[in-house]
Amino acid sequence: MIESLLTNKLGLILDQVYKWSRDRNYRGHNKHDALNSPILKVFLGWSKWTRIIATQGVMRFPINLRPILLVPHSYNPKGLSLLIRGLLLRHKTHKRNQYLEEAETLLNKLIEIRSPGKWSGACWGYHYPWQDLGFYAKTNTPNAVVTCFVCEAFLDAYRVTNNRNYLDIVSDSIEFLLNDLVVLKDTPTELCLSYMPISMKMRVMDVSILIGSVISQYCTLSNNTEYMSISKRLVNYVVNQQTDYYAWFYTDPPQDSLIRHDNYHTGFILDALWRYMQATNDDSYREVYLHGLKFYADKLFNQDGSPRWMSDKDFPHDIHGAAQGIITFSRHQDTYPGFSNKIASWTISNLYNECGRFYYQQTPFYTKRFTLLRWCNAWMAFALAQLELEQN
């Protein structure tokens, strides 16, 4: 009964989510954008640890401090890519040109806001400075993850429109990915690339497989196998890091990050591996994938469908984890029947505001009832559009 009610509501919820986001011109606040505050920039923007305090403090506060701190709304290329992919899925489901036209408008916006600078190819980053434990990135510094997500939007657009310009943009971006990032491991069977084109040693696990997935899809769609062996080595590196209990740490070695087996990065790896297998018909990783999928279902979601923060930590229940679970399990209705619906039903019941926006997080004591456009609405737009397509 719950599942049938959800199916009937998906279209309306998606309409509301896109309207709320469109009314704000697809600009919003972002999880790590505290240093875009002119106030914090003056008082805390001068050293690694003060920047970490500023970023983490704003990110973890129970209410959204960004308006008070005068943090401006900005475009997020990853967010736009997710919204585009949701629109393309809605076009596929409903065959309405309005979805395709809006997607193409946003694709043009992505081209417009690519990272400036002398890079080997088209690339994208965040429109704010970002301090992490392992690096500091200036505003618009391109990174592999955002660039790969943008490439996925252009790959999907090419599949729908057959517009070669979209595929050419991906080809251009591959030059950035292969020539500007730091090579962290290079053997005949494995390749690991850095998160950013800056001096760094941290091996972030999902980076290499995201790149490998993009390259494999490009090679298949373009009938150009030049980079396919590179794609295989990138994927192979990450596959080989799976633990004997079928999980992945966020970094290699694990102690380089406080993040362990978390929800959405696990989903990133599984989705990228799935897209690689679909693009190449390489079935050699199927057991790795299926074991990883079971770990994801068993250890990173609760029985009621709520997303766990990490395998050993329940809260906060984060909207990004919920969206990622819907995306991953919506394509496995045969082996995990009703699971994506259960996650979606929990999310709509607990983290949705009927004005068309999703809340950020649920803690044991309160809910953070504010909306970060990329983190909340963009992810859920893509997730619910994927679920809607699978149910039609």
Q: How far is the C-alpha of 110 from the C-alpha of 122, rounded, in Å?
A: 10
Task: Answer whether the bond into residue 307 is a cis peptide, omega within 30°.
Answer: no
The whole-angstrom separation of Cα 74 and Cα 31 is: 12
203 bridge partner residues: 252
Average confidence (pLDDT) per 10 residues, the chain, 392 residues: 65 97 98 96 91 96 98 98 98 97 98 97 96 88 98 98 98 98 98 95 96 98 96 98 98 94 98 98 97 98 98 98 98 96 97 98 98 98 97 86
Range list of β-strands (E), the chain = 130-131, 136-137, 183-186, 191-193, 203-204, 251-252, 317-318, 352-353, 357-358, 361-362, 367-368
Quote the pLDDT of residue 167: 98
Q: Please name which of 103, 155, 87 lies closest in space to residue 385, comparing C-alpha atoms.
A: 87
Question: What's the N-to-C CA distance of the chain in angstroms?
Answer: 17
Q: Which of 33, 74, 78 is nearest to 379 (CA)?
A: 78
Instruction: Report if pTM > 0.85.
Output: yes
The reported pLDDT for the residue numbered 88 is: 98
pLDDT of residue 134: 78
Contact criterion met (CB below 8 Å) for 137 and 129: yes
Decide if 32 contacts 80 (C-beta within 8 A): no
User: CB of 166 within 8 A of CB of 81?
Assistant: no
Specify the pLDDT at position 133. Answer: 82
Give the three-class secondary structure for 181.
coil
Structure tokens that stand for 141 in this block: 């510094």
Dihedral of alpha carbons 262, 272, 327, 162, sign: positive
Q: Which domains does the chain have, with CATH numbers?
A: 2-29+74-390 (1.50.10.20), 34-73 (no CATH)
Report the pLDDT value the prediction gives residue 1, as an integer from 0 to 100: 37
Which residues contact residue 329 at a Cβ distance below 8 angstroms, ignoring those fewer than 6 apart?
Answer: 297, 336, 339, 340, 343
